[in-house]
Amino acid sequence: MNNLLIAQSGGPTSAINATIAGAISCAFSSKKVDHVYGAINGIQGVFEEKFVDLKEKLESEKDFRMLCQTPSAALGSCRFKLGDLKKDKEQFETIIKIFRKHDIKYFIYTGGNDSMDTVDKLSAYCKENGIDDIVVVGAPKTIDNDLTEIDHCPGFGSAAKYIATTFAELERDCHVYDTKAVTIVEVMGRNAGWLTAASALARVAGGKGPDLIYLCEPVFSIPKFLEDIKKKMEDHPDIIVAVSEGIKDENGVYISEHVQAGAKDAFGHSIISGAGSVLENIVRKELGCKVRSVELNLMQRCGAHVASGTDIEESRMLGMKACQCALDGETGVMAIMTRVSNTPYEVTFGSVPVSKVANKEKKVPMEWIHENGNDVKQELIDYMLPLIQGEVSVMYENGIPKHFYLY
């Protein structure tokens, strides 16, 4: 028996299920594979042998379509990092023992840079120990768009489309009054500003988009931020600001941390708040006008009802590619996309050694950010625009999108 096991890891996205849908359908149609299993809660579910037989779950093309429109990891996720190859050898031995028990020959792991570390270590362990009949392959995903070696990450396009759509709507909302008001919208991204940059895409259908955009790559200066707002207000009263959650001062300290460090509630407990909320309090104090902060929070990573058609299609293709790599015996690789042309937009699919990706981070290049640090350049918009094209024809039931359950 040659079985294939697939699992998901890391933070949820709107496209990660399209990736497993692609891999699973590829495995279903291959003569090399007998059973296709899903591990529940990532590598943790492997240790616990929490497996589901996916042929019993996914029976029709409609099931696959519904899985593709389901946000977040349908197989569950975990935040489990494998230990050291030498020191924690028994961890790896346990996994191989479980694989042998269930005749797992192919293992596909979808996730971000932490998850690629798992793929890297497990495939390295197999190589070092002469285990050549188990193939381990990575399939990328992360809304953060911070994986190296790949043009862009599956899941980013859908999050970007949600963010752009939401900023366009917030602009309409903030525009209705003619009084001075600042709306600060905090977007996810601790170390890379890609998602915050996507707010600029609110401008591509006729709207003005955010007035100011602060990514987490440049140093963030509070006095300059206040000056930027005052200057924009000379032109119009309703100001919309996009900020990365990870904006930092000149010492590399998160704005959210250092300003709010002493914040206590009525019981004397520390108050945890985001960069947007910190800036809201500063604007209220310094400028005295109406101000509010908005967090796009979890919604930006699970807003599958407005997923990007391009993203879902590419994610499914990448899943297929990852499965194909596995069936071809390519171990220790991650499936990738390369952009061969921007107009017309075209990508090709391939693979790279996962060691090139694991634990690395791709930030927004400084040359794509405006010198003033308060907006993005056209090159960045050109890079992102193709990724939000196309809409998914979502299946609704009783007025809300229908989701698919694998466990």
Residue 274: φ, ψ to 5°: -90, 175
The one among 38, 76, 155, 189 contacting a copy of itself by CB under 8 A: 76
Residue 394: φ, ψ to 5°: -75, 135
Here's the x/- map for a copy of itself, 111-130, by CB under 8 A: it reads as --------------------
Task: For residue 233, give the DSSP letter.
Answer: H
Q: Is 397 in the site for a copy of itself (CB under 8 A)?
A: yes
Q: Is 154 in the site for a copy of itself (CB under 8 A)?
A: no
Shortest distance (Å) from residue 379 CB to a copy of itself: 17
Cβ–Cβ under 8 Å, residues 242 and 185: yes
Task: Identify which of residues 130 and 405 has a Cβ nearer to a copy of itself in the complex.
Answer: 405
Cβ–Cβ under 8 Å, residues 278 and 293: no
Residues contacting a copy of itself: total by CB under 8 A: 79
Q: Is 267 in the site for a copy of itself (CB under 8 A)?
A: yes
For the residues of 179-198, what is the DSSP string, one character each?
Answer: S-EEEEEEE--SS--HHHHG
Shortest distance (Å) from residue 382 CB to a copy of itself: 12
Closest CA to 300 of 199, 181, 376: 199
d(CA 183, CA 239): 6
User: HEC profile for 88-108?
Assistant: CHHHHHHHHHHHHHCCEEEEE
Task: Identify which of residues 12 and 218 has a Cβ nearer to a copy of itself in the complex.
Answer: 12
Q: Is 161 in the site for a copy of itself (CB under 8 A)?
A: yes
Token duo for residue 217: 């790559």
Per CB under 8 A, contacts with a copy of itself among 269-328 are 269, 271, 273, 277, 281, 284-285, 292, 294-299, 301-306, 308
d(CA 314, CA 160): 15
Residue 22: φ, ψ to 5°: -65, -45
Task: Identify which of residues 327 and 384 has a Cβ nearer to a copy of itself in the complex.
Answer: 384
Tell me the three state secondary structure of residue 222.
Answer: helix
Shortest distance (Å) from residue 246 CB to a copy of itself: 17
Count CA atoms within 13 Å of residue 147 on its CB side. 34
- Buried b / exposed e over 154-178, threshold 16 CB at 10 Å, is bbbbbbbbbbbbbbbebbeebeeee
The one among 3, 19, 25, 77 contacting a copy of itself by CB under 8 A: 77
The one among 132, 169, 346, 382 contacting a copy of itself by CB under 8 A: 169
Single out the segment in contact with a copy of itself by CB under 8 A; choices: 20-28, 133-141, 160-168, 312-320.
160-168
Task: Identify which of residues 201 and 354 has a Cβ nearer to a copy of itself in the complex.
Answer: 201
Count CA atoms within 13 Å of residue 14 on its CB side. 30
Shortest distance (Å) from residue 131 CB to a copy of itself: 29
Per CB under 8 A, contacts with a copy of itself among 2-41 are 8, 12, 41
Q: Is 379 in the site for a copy of itself (CB under 8 A)?
A: no
Q: Strands of 285-380 (E only): list them.
A: 290-295, 333-342, 345-353
The one among 139, 170, 255, 380 contacting a copy of itself by CB under 8 A: 170
Single out the segment in contact with a copy of itself by CB under 8 A; choices: 112-120, 173-181, 322-330, 355-363.
173-181
Per CB under 8 A, contacts with a copy of itself among 185-214 are 201-202, 204-207
Task: Identify which of residues 168 and 241 has a Cβ nearer to a copy of itself in the complex.
Answer: 168
Shortest distance (Å) from residue 293 CB to a copy of itself: 9
Cβ–Cβ under 8 Å, residues 157 and 383: no
d(CA 72, CA 162): 15
Please say if 144 is a catalytic residue.
Answer: yes
Single out the segment in contact with a copy of itself by CB under 8 A; choices: 71-79, 134-142, 221-229, 246-254.
71-79
The one among 3, 72, 123, 256 contacting a copy of itself by CB under 8 A: 72
Query: Active-site residue among 117, 120, 144, 375?
Result: 144
**Active-site residue set:** 144
